[in-house]
A and B are shown apart, each in its own frame.
Chain A
């Protein structure tokens, strides 16, 4: 059995491990359990004295920490030097990064350094075998990095059997976050940044930074009321907003609704927007292009409201209401008010 570990690169800002990294640790643990190997992680940032407690519960065996004020905010070269050093020494079989501004900046640079394969924007991770005809050889327990391709019209399973580690960036909000063991024992290894990072690695100077705390948190919303092009206008979106407010949810939109200017870009749901998995997803006037459904099909319950009884989204909906949303939405509000305690 291959005891080399599954490794996760964790992002951190202001002593908080990023949401995506927690998702990756959970997904990494599931892979490690399938493989019967350890889960290891690395995190580079500033003032990380207490960071271990946020990471251990995901079942991390070894955690490599570089704590240095120059490592935050993230710049490419110091993080690449540190990660390269750790991965070269530890030789993991799989390395996961978030498909974020940081992960998509860092992972390819590392893949080049390590001369290994990297799959971008993975949405499904699995373990499986592959027979290479040319070599007449069966490779066991490879990473299946499955991702949408060609504008979302197909899913491609990407493998890498000979140039390891197998690396992948993973979409945000796709992997389920789950604590493995609140009291898990993690071995912490501190890295002295000065031993590894050269002065030249700090050539890039950050002059100014504006990070907006996203006021829209679609990923965390338990209920989402989303509209498509069929909503018809910006004004009609107010109907959706009313319903969302009353139900304690958020409003989202399909790409077509965003492109038409009915709703803000940061509320876009789907492959090019946010991937969501709420308890309830209400799709109003959304036909259900694959690019959209790929970003919401894991909702626990889906209600589709559409004039067209044959809208593709109806195939995955639990409730299909055929009718005009101008009629249906006010009635939903009315009966919710009457029946909710």
Chain B
């Protein structure tokens, strides 16, 4: 089997699974600063899927691609710690405020710059929006087939890849040709942990922007070990049309947000006494709710 070239799409997200009381401002908007950021859980599954293929097909090359503010370079480092070969960061203030359509356009411009790939994998969805849209939108823009909700790669063949998909009410096994795009379901295997030697090797990996404040020792190290410089692509680097990125390229806008308020009902408050419960049951039967 020939080695594959895989691109993993990964995103840094606010940890919406642990929304504390101070995560909401009094006006009902989200206080992003109070939410910790994490590697999007489904994207970690996608990373594992790619690394698993690399284990099975020696010589396979895995590149991790992320888009976000400088802090998102953590995603690239995390990828290195677990075994990717390359990392690329798409970062430019002008990309900010993008919805899924503008995001997929931006990612696809970067993938076109990478040019050579057999497989693109990403998580099924990101926990900051749960939209599950960017994967299929990228596949469309690249004009390649998509295989969503992948749970396991069953077989890797010369001209096709066999995967099992997890649907809401069952499973489906499909064969897809290369190149194709897969989104990975959370029921697939968990990502392997960091490799201690790789952590030692890559812990000083930084983007140029991260280095801007001046770290002379790191700069020396980066000269000696160029693999520690994380490539950073701007609007110009990926030849993006500015009308198609960021807020300008995003058709969906948030008109308003509101906290969920439970509408109070006038409730009958009962004890667990026999008379209270018998009374309630009789009322329910009388009103044909039960019986």
Name A's B-contacting residues (CB within 8 A). 73, 76-77, 80, 100-101, 104-109, 111-113, 115-121, 130, 144, 148-163, 203-214, 223, 247, 279-280, 288, 290, 293-294, 297, 300-304, 309, 312, 314-324, 327-328, 331-332, 335-336, 338-341
Query: Who on chain A is nearest to B168 by CB?
Result: A101
Contacting pair B285 A340 (CB below 8 A): yes
Q: Count of A-B contacts with CB under 8 A?
A: 245
User: Smallest Cβ distance from B119 to chain A, in angstroms?
Assistant: 14
The answer on a CB contact under 8 Å between B284 and A280 is yes
- Cα A21 to Cα B213 in complex, Å, equals 56
| Interface secondary structure of B, over-half rule | mixed
Give the number of chain B interface residues (Cβ < 8 Å). 77
**Can you list 22 contacts pairing A with B, beta carbon distance less than 8 Å?**
A101-B148, A104-B132, A104-B148, A108-B100, A109-B137, A117-B101, A117-B252, A120-B129, A149-B257, A150-B23, A153-B16, A154-B30, A154-B259, A157-B256, A163-B101, A203-B145, A204-B147, A205-B175, A212-B170, A213-B169, A279-B289, A335-B274
- Kindly state the separation between the CA atoms of A264 and B18 in the bound complex, as whole angstroms: 23
Return chain A residues, CB-CB under 8 Å to B101: 111-112, 115-118, 163
B173/A208 in contact, CB under 8 A = yes
Within 8 A of A (CB), among B121-180: 127-137, 139-141, 145-149, 162, 167-177
Closest chain A CB from B11 CB (angstroms)? 15
Query: Which residues of A are found within 8 Å of B19, using beta-carbon distances?
Result: 150-151, 153
Is B255 touching A158 in the complex (CB atoms < 8 A)? yes
Across the interface, which residues of B come within 8 angstroms of A211, CB to CB? Answer: 167, 169-170
Q: Which residues of chain A are within 8 angstroms of B290 by Cβ–Cβ distance?
A: 223, 247, 280, 336, 340
Which chain B residues (41-99) contact chain A, with CB distance < 8 Å? 99
A76 lies within 8 A of B146 (CB):
yes
Report, nearest first, the 10 A-B pairs whose CB atoms are least far apart.
A323-B272, A117-B251, A163-B251, A151-B16, A108-B133, A211-B170, A112-B140, A120-B131, A108-B136, A117-B252
- The reply to whether A301 and B289 form a contact with Cβ atoms under 8 Å apart is yes
B115 sits at the interface (CB 8 A)? no
Interface contact A297-B262, CB-CB below 8 Å: yes
B244-259: CB near A (< 8 Å → 1, else 0) gives 0000001111111111
Complex interface: chain B residues within 8 A of A121 (CB): 130-131
Stretch at the interface among B220-228, B230-238, B275-283: B275-283
In the bound complex, do residue B271 and residue A323 qualify as a contact, i.e. CB atoms below 8 Å apart?
Answer: yes
Give the contacting residue for A210; candidates B129, B170, B175, B250; CB below 8 A: B170
> CB distance A322 to B271 under 8 Å?
yes
In the complex, whether B260 has a CB less than 8 A from a CB of chain A is yes
Q: B262–A209 contact, CB under 8 A?
A: no
